[in-house]
Amino acid sequence: MKMRHLTPIALAVAVLSFSQAAAQDKFGQTVPAALEKKVLEARQMRLPYRKEVYDPKESARMLEEVIAVKPDYYRAHFNLGLTYHELDDYEKSTESFDRAIKIQKEQGIDDATLFNTAGWVSLKNGDFRRAELLLKRAETMTKGTNTYTEGAVHGNLGQLYFLTQRFDEAQRHLTISRDEFGSKESAYYLDLIDKTQKVLVIQEQQIMKRLKTR
């Protein structure tokens, strides 16, 4: 227990002694190398397909330590949001994403992946209203960029509208994701919508039949 309390202090000392090694990270923030290394390690530990190092609880603990030293570390909050999602703690996950969004706004970090990822997490947790707000924001930010994120945003919006029975909008986004970005998942959802609409036609025919016989 004592060791756990000492770790952030030791980390802070390490950061101060290696402050010369500070450099810009993936998102353009100037971060001490030791902290970035720790975030990258924690990131590997939350990925379910990295079975040899998979330990999301430890990952969350490490990221919390990094945040205790550098509270405005955007990438740490971003990863912590995904780690809590991995731990099925949606409340803490949204808190982390909200803090990352706040830092992004304050420091002018240009990154649409956060909105797409946070929207995707909300979508996976059935919080459709929040998911739509975040994904719409990501759609605006990625429009015309022709990046992977742009395609992923359309795919996620398509899934969201499929799950909320807005099939016309779902088809529009999924078609973009499939045709322009080659998403096989979007093609699968388009197939599901097609099949669902066939079932709906049969349902309507049955209703009409029943009404006529009355």
User: Rule CB under 8 A: which residues touch another protein?
Assistant: 43, 47-49, 75, 78-79, 81-82, 86, 113, 116-117, 120, 128-129, 148, 152, 155-156, 162, 164-167, 183-185, 187-188, 191-192, 195-203
Output the smallest distance, CB 143 to another protein, in A: 19
Output the smallest distance, CB 144 to another protein, in A: 20
- Cα separation, 106 vs 179, in Å, equals 36
- Cα separation, 178 vs 172, in Å, equals 10
Which residue's CB is nearer to another protein, number 3 or number 199? Answer: 199
Which residue's CB is nearer to another protein, number 34 or number 82? Answer: 82
Question: Rounded to 5 degrees, what are φ and ψ at 50?
Answer: -95, 70
Which tokens go with 98?
């909200």
Output the smallest distance, CB 81 to another protein, in A: 8
Contact 87, 60 (CB under 8 A): yes
Which residue's CB is nearer to another protein, number 141 or number 152? Answer: 152
Output the smallest distance, CB 28 to another protein, in A: 15
* Amino acid at the residue 148: Y
Task: Supply the DSSP symbol for 20.
Answer: G
Output the smallest distance, CB 214 to another protein, in A: 17
Which residue's CB is nearer to another protein, number 3 or number 201? Answer: 201
Contact 22, 32 (CB under 8 A): yes
Which residue's CB is nearer to another protein, number 19 or number 146? Answer: 146
- Cα separation, 117 vs 132, in Å, equals 12
What are residue 31's DSSP bridge partners? 23
Which tokens go with 203?
């349902």
Which residue's CB is nearer to another protein, number 69 or number 186? Answer: 186
Which tokens go with 16?
């101060």
* Amino acid at the residue 133: L
Output the smallest distance, CB 3 to another protein, in A: 27
CA-based max dimension of the chain: 85
Which tokens go with 15?
């950061």
* Amino acid at the residue 131: A
